[in-house]
Amino acid sequence: MRAATVLASLVTSALSLVLLAAPAQAASTVDYVALGDSYSSGVGAPGQSGTCLRSNNSYAAQWAARNSPASFQFLACGGAVTDDIVNTQAPAMRSGADLVSITIGGNDAGFAPTVITCLTSSDSTCAAKVESGKAYVRNTLPGKLDAAYRAIRAKAPDARVVVLSYPLIFDTSSLFCEMSVAKRRSLNSGAQALDDMIRSRAEAIGFVYSEVRDEFSGHGVCSSRPYLNGLTVIPPQNSYHPNTNGYTYGYLPALTSSAS
């Protein structure tokens, strides 16, 4: 009995020493701001609310929930364009942000009307609409992106700014889909051109560009395990946006790997 008591005392003492020696987990001191459009606000996932359609299933809200930043400003808004970053979102940022994430540029380039055209017209009309969008990306979008990025840098000069890409929306290996293979290839080529320009302008100002194509590879619309919604009637805004898996296994890892 005495031996058991001594043994218990030794175990308790040893455990106390281990606990005292183990460093306490430091509280996060990161001030995080999520800017951008519907791909950052969480459109496509459940739980959207408000006029900006923000969801706790977005990659931004998930990152905040997992990392417990000192503060979290969720300013991303469905439908946002680069002018909204300059005029609304960047001015609303609190000074002193340490980490900023953003997706922007898709709405400037006419993402929604291009997809609608491709859904409702011929392969050639779809391809022409995509080429028109590429011309905008080459000629006009660079200045728009530069202005948005400068506004962020002016408000958060010391922040690590992670600019996330858009995925290639469609799987092109399946013969059966809501769009022809030709249309899917056209739209993917438009997304590629957009991402290339976003990367160029983000890196020019010194931001971190984080590509999501690898995470979404094999999970496009019409694949067997899509990370994006196809054409959605209710609610219609979910069409061609990431689903919960897209935000959790696509965007969240891309942000996490680039956040520090």
Q: Which residues are catalytic?
A: 38, 241
The pair of three-digit structure tokens given for residue 32, joined into one six-digit string: 């995080």
- CA torsion sign for 54, 55, 59, 61 is positive
Beta bridge mates, 41: none
**DSSP letters spanning 168-219:** P-B--S-S-SSS-HHHHHHHHHHHHHHHHHHHHHHHHHTPEEE--HHHHTT-
Number of helices (H) and strands (E) in the chain: give both, helices first: 12, 5
Sheet of 71-74: strand order equals: 71-74, 31-36, 99-103, 160-164, 208-210
Spatial contact of 167 and 228, defined as CB atoms under 8 Å apart: yes
The pair of three-digit structure tokens given for residue 235, joined into one six-digit string: 């609610």
Q: Cis bond leading into 69, ω under 30°?
A: no
**Which residue in 35, 62, 57 sits closest to 44, CA to CA?**
57
Return d(Cα 15, Cα 40) in angstroms, integer.
45
